[in-house]
Amino acid sequence: MAELIVALDVQTREEAVAKIRQIGEPVGFYKIGLELFTAEGPDVVKAVKDLGKKVFLDLKFHDIPRTVERAVRSGAKLGVDLMTIHSVGGRAMIRAAADAAAEFGETRPRILAVTVLTSLDRSDLEDVGISGRTPAEQVAAMARFAVDNGADGLVSSPKEVGALSKALKAGTLFITPGVRPAGSAVGDQKRVATPADAVRDGATHLVVGRPILAAEDPTAAARSILAEMTV
Ligand code: C5P
């Protein structure tokens, strides 16, 4: 069964806690990204955990292996459930993240790799020295590289998840943003899929922000997305 993760795209811990309380029981998993973490720090992670919810800490680490290893350990101590790294950080960095997480046994954070940011196109890749591959080819190559070096899963667009889930070993996690319930506003997302399509294609976790956060009744919006996920 795929899980729903709500993106806590708010600016303060107070707003985050109020949103989680308002959404209530149907949602058990929240994503804390750079904006909220930079504003509020580990206290916001603790606040979400104290409400009995799981945390996806999306800070996309990319640094030398020792630094990433220690940052993953810090996240694990906070009780974080999912964390992100950039696959372009290299083999040793990915391994360092996976090894640091593994120290925490069953409660370890699962390490997710970002392959190619969806904001980058072919000419952006060329700017940073990646030529001769389309973004889709680069995604496929980096996905395999990350998983082969110990990543538990990938952050992937709903348009990529079908091919990736077929190509990679069973048990790989696929976290998919860009999900929009049938008939809802897409906002600035360009390549969206419905919850049912994303799950059918192999997504194990869907990340949804505005369709729930901005809904008049966020609990009802979450319930309806959850219903769309049972395919
Ligand atoms: O509001 P919305 O549902 O578009 O929010 C999606 C969340 O997933 C945001 O936190 C956004 O930063 C994140 N995300 C994304 N696309 C990516 C990677 C992350 O929308 N490629």
pLDDT tens digits, residue range 76-131? 999 999 999 999 999 999 999 999 999 999 999 999 999 999 899 999 999 999 99
Residues with CB under 6 A from ligand 1: 7, 9, 33, 118, 157, 177-178, 187, 189, 207-211
- Taking every pair of Cα atoms in the chain, the longest distance, rounded to a whole number of angstroms, is 49
pTM of this prediction? Answer: 0.96
Residue 191 pLDDT > 90, yes or no? Answer: no
pLDDT at 57: 98
Which helix (H) or strand (E) covers residue 94, if one does?
A: helix 91-102
Residue 42 pLDDT > 90, yes or no? Answer: yes
DSSP one-letter code for 172: -
Q: Are 173 and 150 in contact (CB under 8 A)?
A: no
Nearest-atom number in ligand 1 for the CA of 187 is 4
Residue 173 pLDDT > 90, yes or no? Answer: yes
Helix (H, G, I), strand (E, B) or coil at 25: coil
Reported as a pLDDT band with limits 50, 70 and 90, residue 158 is very high
Alpha-carbon distance of 11 to 19, in angstroms, equals 12
Reported as a pLDDT band with limits 50, 70 and 90, residue 185 is confident
Query: CA Rg, the chain, in Å?
Result: 17
The rounded Å distance from CA 207 to ligand 1 centre is: 7
For 121, the token pair is 């196109």
